[in-house]
Amino acid sequence: MVNSLKKSFLLFKFTGVMFFFLVSCSPDSEEMSSSFEVSVSVNGNGTVSSSQFNVESNTIISISAIPNEGYYFDRWDGLNEVIETETLNLKVTQPYFLTAIFLPIPILNESIEVYDPKKIDSLPVFMIVNGGKEAFLTDKTGKRIQSWNFDDNLGNELKLLDDGSLIGLFKPDNVSFPFLKGFGGILKKIDPSGTVVWEYEVNNEDYLSHHDFEILPNGNILLIIWEHFSESEAQALGYNSSGSIYLEKIIELNPELNSIVWEWRSVDHLIQDFNPSSPNFGQISSYPKKINLNYVTDEFGDLMHANGLYYDSVKDVIYLSVNFYSEVWVIPHSYSTAENSTELGDLIYRFGNPQAYDSAAERIFYNNHQPTLVEHDPLTSGRFLIFSNGYDDKQSNVYELRLPTIFNEDPSLWILPEITWTFTHPDLYFGVISGAYRLPNGNTLICEGDYGYWEVSRTGDVVWKFNGGGSYFWRGYVYP
């Protein structure tokens, strides 16, 4: 009996010891009582607030990276994610071997007024001097990578091609038109050696190419053309003032054949409520797909002043920026020239200024330049981007818009575009030229015509500014 009790007691004692051992060595207990080492090293020219820690598990530590003069903090290495904030707050659950990376701030040209190396898009900017004889490819430090100089003045658009060639509008020596803002006249292709290998002139008493052009996927080129109408022709159209007028048309040029293969004329799509004897007489608000001839009066007869166009290959439409109407016209490209002269060629959508067709809907634009669809930023691809000069209140804005997926044939079903992003700044204003272009990293490149260039982030931070030193600029592009 005694031996039996002793055996029971020893068994109980052994079991209790095992239970205590198992409990004290369980994972939860180990985590609660363990400590971990955190080691921090430096790569580059800078310091950290602490370089060595030995802390209990789940402790939150804070480490600061302090760059020396001429350097900036780039990132923390040694984590499962990229963290770029200078102060790192870290919950310690394991050993860490971290490195604070510091990089040198590059030498900046005096033209660079703002430079945030961590937020800028790295691509150089193709800068076009407005109406001048030069263009530059300039990196973000202000260094000119390449320069082009021309014998003739630009008028205005210039594009850099993949093979290093250029296509641009240039001003001829003589023009017949009485106004000079934005006129071109001669489209030229210039090879990398500077030789003019092709040109096409639209410059006579009745027609003058101006401002902008667009290269289509098939290699054809869309051009904006001023079309002259005499005073008597203007009166017959229902014009409510005197003198000649100059209306817009778009031509599609085949550069291989040097021939016009397609055209659209605004004169075929007018409405006016001034002259009842004219065939285009009617109530403006009842015909939103047509263009009010008398919306603007100009002493030189330049009533519309289109200044930019963009071809949407998905919808097969053209977006035409019409500065004096403060709106964008959406023009079908799918019809023939003959069909374009009928109601088929009417505007299929328009936006920016409903007042232009006597609508009470909200106005967005006050003069506008550079219509584009976002191409290089995956997050906003297909959105519409435009620069609104803000001539009324001397404040410029950039708008990103989501346009309707389908342009409804019934204008009563038209909906206003959705503003998905906008940027302005007290220092951002120029009443003419200028533009905006979305960069591959999601930032927006802004050309402020009389200043130079801005780059702003999606959150509205100004991350780069280039001061052109008194030059005037037409637009800016990047080429990924």
> In a 10 Å sphere around its CB, with 0-12 CB exposed, 13-18 middle and 19+ buried, how is residue 475 labelled?
buried
Contact yes or no for 384/340 (Cβ under 8 A):
no
Taking CB atoms within 8 Å and a gap of at least 24, the contacts of 275-284 are 275/235, 275/238, 275/240, 278/236, 278/237, 278/238, 280/237, 280/238, 281/238, 284/357, 284/358
pLDDT for the residue 179: 85
pLDDT for the residue 422: 99
For 46, the enclosing helix (H) or strand (E) is strand 46-48
Strand order in the sheet with 52-56: 52-56, 35-43, 96-104, 71-77
Delimit the domains of the chain by residue range: 1-30, 34-104, 109-141+366-480, 161-363
pLDDT for the residue 11: 38
Rounded CA separation 201/35 (Å): 79
Question: For 440-468, how does the pLDDT look when each residue is reduced to its tens digit (9 = 90+)?
Answer: 999 999 999 999 999 999 999 999 999 99
- pLDDT of residue 322 exceeding 60, the answer is yes
Nearest alpha-carbon partner for 156 in 306, 262, 259? 306
DSSP for 173-185, please give it. S----S--TTB--
Contact yes or no for 347/291 (Cβ under 8 A):
yes
Average pLDDT over residues 52-67: 95
Contact yes or no for 226/206 (Cβ under 8 A):
no
- pLDDT of residue 335 exceeding 90, the answer is yes
pLDDT for the residue 15: 40
Question: What percentage of the chain reaches a pLDDT higher than 90?
Answer: 91
Contact yes or no for 358/424 (Cβ under 8 A):
no
pLDDT band of residue 181 (cuts 50, 70, 90) is confident
pLDDT band of residue 154 (cuts 50, 70, 90) is very high
Average pLDDT over residues 129-145: 98
* First and final C-alpha spacing in the chain: 93
- pLDDT of residue 116 exceeding 50, the answer is yes
Contact yes or no for 112/132 (Cβ under 8 A):
no
Highest-scoring range by mean pLDDT, 14-23, 51-60, 164-173: 164-173
What are the phi and psi torsion angles at 72 (to 5°)? -135, 155
**How many residues comprise the chain?**
480
Average pLDDT over residues 283-307: 97
pLDDT band of residue 272 (cuts 50, 70, 90) is very high
* Average pLDDT for the chain: 93
- pLDDT of residue 276 exceeding 60, the answer is yes
Average pLDDT over residues 123-144: 98
Rounded CA separation 381/386 (Å): 14
pLDDT for the residue 223: 99
Considering only residues 50 and 179, tell me which one the structure prediction assigns the higher pLDDT.
Answer: 50
* CATH number at 34-104: 2.60.40
pLDDT for the residue 144: 98
Question: For 304-314, how does the pLDDT look when each residue is reduced to its tens digit (9 = 90+)?
Answer: 999 999 999 99
